[in-house]
Amino acid sequence: MTHSQQIQALRERARQHISQGAITPDYQLDREQSIRILNEALATELVCTLRYQFHYFMATGIHSQAVKEEFKEHAHEEQEHAERIAERIKQLGGKPEMNPAMLTDLSHSEYREGNTLAEMIREDLIAERIAVESYREMIRYFGERDPTSRVMMEEILAKEEEHADELTD
């Protein structure tokens, strides 16, 4: 097949199944499995957002102001991650799972509040460590077969590692 014939075949394939948007026949993973995995990441991000917001409002004490601002910033960044993941789920033809009743079941991290500032920081650090390990596994799953999801998860992982580092400090 000549180069121009290959281009013509590509054009014809692009016209087929256009309702599937960005998903073309060469998508190499099980889309339903990819969507399930991304919904777990979405739930993890949403649970983390809520926990950080709760900590922002509940943090008290002499050293709380600087930590509160960190909680607020992290909540905002976790929400941004959730939005990116939800968009990717939609691109893959899936439905982002945002039913509050389902979130704690799907989330890899737990929603633990902590009673003191130190306990709040500890719970957030544990959640970040869970996210780091989970997201590394997801990155391996997506690999070269879904580079868009892989790169997105790599970028989110880098931010989660940064959060863990900040909480450790």
Write down the pTM of the prediction: 0.89
Whether the pLDDT of residue 131 is over 80: the answer is yes
pLDDT at 5: 84
Q: What is the pLDDT of residue 81?
A: 98
**pLDDT confidence of residue 11:** 74
Q: Is 27 or 133 the better-scoring residue by pLDDT?
A: 133
The Cα–Cα gap between 143 and 15 comes to 28
Task: For the chain, give the mean pLDDT.
Answer: 93
